[in-house]
Amino acid sequence: MKKFNFRKVLDGLTAASPVGSSGGGSGSGAGGGSVHPGGTAGAAGTPREEIQETLTSDYFQICKTVRHGFPYLPTALAFDPVQKILAIGTRTGAIRILGRPGVDCYCQHESGAAVLQLQFLINEGALVSACVDDALHLWNLRQKRPALLHSLKFNRERITYCHLPFQSKWLYVGTERGNTHIVNIESFILSGYVIMWNKAIELSTKTHPGPVVHLSDSPRDEGKLLIGYENGTIVFWDLRSKRADLRAYYDEAIHSVAWHHEGKQFMCSHSDGSLTLWNLKSPNRPFQTTIPHGKVQRDGKKPESCKPILKVEYKTCKNSEPFVIFSGGLSYDKPCRRPSLTIMHGKAITVLEMDHPIVDFLTLCETPYPNEFQEPYAVVVLLEKDLIVVDLTQSNFPIFENPYPIDIHESPVTCTEYFADCPPDLIPVLYSVGAKHKKQGYSNKEWPISGGAWNLGAQTYPEIIITGHADGSVKFWDASAITLQMLYKLKTSKVFEKQKVGEGKATAEIVEEDPFAVQMMYWCPESRIFCVAGVSAYVIVYRFSKHEVNTEIASLEVRLQCEVEDIITPEPETNPPFPDASSQLPSLKSLSGSTNTVACEGTMKDSIPCLSVKARAVRMPPGYQADLVIQLVWVDGEPPQQITSLAVNSAYGLVAFGNCNGLAVVDFMQKTVLLSMGTLDLYGSSDPYQRQPRSPRKSRQFAADNFCMRGLSNFYPDLTKRIRTSYQSLTELSDSPVSLELERCKSPTSENRENSFSRSRSSSVSSIDRDSKEAITALYFMESFARKNDSAVSSCLWVGTGLGMVIILSLNLPASDDLRQSEPVVVSPSGTVLTLKGAVLTFACLDCMGTLTHRPYEVWRDPHSADDGDKTRKRKLVMHSPSSSQDMGDHQFAVICSEKQAKVFSLPSQTCLYVHNITETSFLLRADVVTLCNSVCLACFCANGHIMTLSLPSLRPLLDINYLPVTDMRIARTFCFTNEGQALYLSSPTEIQRLTYSQEMCDNLQDMLGDLFTPVETPEAQNRGFLKGLFGGSGQAFDREELFGEATAGKASRSLAQHIPGSGGIEGVRGAAGGVIGDLTRARIALDERGQKLGELDERTASMMASAEAFSKHAHEVMLKYKDKKWYQF
What pLDDT digit, counting tens, does each position of 655-667 carry?
999 999 999 999 9
pLDDT for the residue numbered 35: 52
Which has the minimum average pLDDT: 60-64, 814-818, 927-931?
814-818
**Other beta carbons less than 10 A from residue 698's beta carbon:** 12
Q: Above 80 in pLDDT, residue 449?
A: yes
pLDDT confidence of 890, banded at 50, 70, 90? confident
Report CA-CA distances (Å) from 1054 to 153, 154, 190, 584, 824.
11, 10, 9, 85, 86
pLDDT for the residue numbered 12: 39
pLDDT confidence of 89, banded at 50, 70, 90? very high
Higher pLDDT, 985 or 710: 985
Q: Above 70 in pLDDT, residue 1078?
A: no
Which tens digits make up the pLDDT trace of 20-51? 333 333 333 334 455 554 443 333 333 345 68
For the segment 475-502, the average pLDDT, to the nearest whole number, is: 88
Which tens digits make up the pLDDT trace of 268-322? 999 999 999 999 988 888 989 999 998 877 766 777 888 999 999 999 999 889 9
For the segment 72-95, the average pLDDT, to the nearest whole number, is: 96
pLDDT for the residue numbered 1092: 61
Q: Above 50 in pLDDT, residue 932?
A: yes
DSSP SS3 for 427: helix
pLDDT for the residue numbered 571: 39
Q: By percentage, how much of the chain surpasses pLDDT 70?
A: 75
For the segment 941-948, the average pLDDT, to the nearest whole number, is: 94
pLDDT for the residue numbered 1080: 54
pLDDT for the residue numbered 1068: 43
> Judging by DSSP bridges, how do beta strands 976-978 and 982-988 pair with one another?
antiparallel
Tell me how far apart the alpha carbons of residues 126 and 224 are, in angstroms, rounded to a whole number. 25
For the segment 1122-1126, the average pLDDT, to the nearest whole number, is: 67
Q: Above 80 in pLDDT, residue 597?
A: no
Q: Above 60 in pLDDT, residue 1028?
A: no
Tell me how far apart the alpha carbons of residues 61 and 50 are, in angstroms, rounded to a whole number. 28
pLDDT confidence of 151, banded at 50, 70, 90? very high
Which tens digits make up the pLDDT trace of 399-441? 999 999 999 999 999 999 999 988 989 999 999 998 876 777 8
Which has the minimum average pLDDT: 503-512, 552-561, 1099-1108?
503-512
pLDDT confidence of 1129, banded at 50, 70, 90? low
Structural contact between residues 1044 and 240, judged by C-beta atoms closer than 8 angstroms: no
pLDDT for the residue numbered 1094: 67
Q: Above 80 in pLDDT, residue 691?
A: no
pLDDT for the residue numbered 915: 96
DSSP 257-310: EEE-TTSSEEEEEETTS-EEEEETTBTTS-SEEE-TTSPPPTTSPPPPPBS-EE
pLDDT for the residue numbered 1096: 66
> Which run of H or E residues covers position 743?
helix 737-744
- Say how many Å lie between the first and final Cα of the chain, rounded: 94
Higher pLDDT, 819 or 671: 671
Q: By percentage, how much of the chain surpasses pLDDT 90?
A: 54
pLDDT for the residue numbered 1065: 52
Q: What pTM does this model have?
A: 0.81
Identity of residue 1054: R
For the segment 942-966, the average pLDDT, to the nearest whole number, is: 93
Peptide bond into 748 cis (omega under 30): no
Structural contact between residues 716 and 748, judged by C-beta atoms closer than 8 angstroms: yes
Which has the minimum average pLDDT: 107-111, 588-592, 627-631?
588-592
DSSP 1056-1121: TEEEEE-THHHHHHHHS-SHHHHHHHHHHHHHHHHHHHHHHHHHHHHHHHHHHHHHHHHHHHHHHH
For the segment 594-612, the average pLDDT, to the nearest whole number, is: 61
Higher pLDDT, 721 or 341: 341
Which tens digits make up the pLDDT trace of 351-391? 999 999 999 999 999 999 999 999 999 999 999 999 999 99
The whole-chain average pLDDT of the chain stands at 79
Which has the minimum average pLDDT: 134-138, 202-206, 576-580, 1085-1089?
576-580
Kindly report the backbone phi and psi dihedral angles of residue 1060, in degrees, each rounded to the nearest multiple of 5, phi listed first: -125, 115
For the segment 218-224, the average pLDDT, to the nearest whole number, is: 91
> Which run of H or E residues covers position 378?
strand 376-383
Q: Above 80 in pLDDT, residue 611?
A: yes
CA 710 to chain CA mean position, Å: 30
Q: Above 60 in pLDDT, residue 251?
A: yes
pLDDT for the residue numbered 695: 37
For the segment 69-90, the average pLDDT, to the nearest whole number, is: 96
> Judging by DSSP bridges, how do beta strands 623-632 and 555-558 pair with one another?
parallel
Q: Above 70 in pLDDT, residue 254?
A: yes
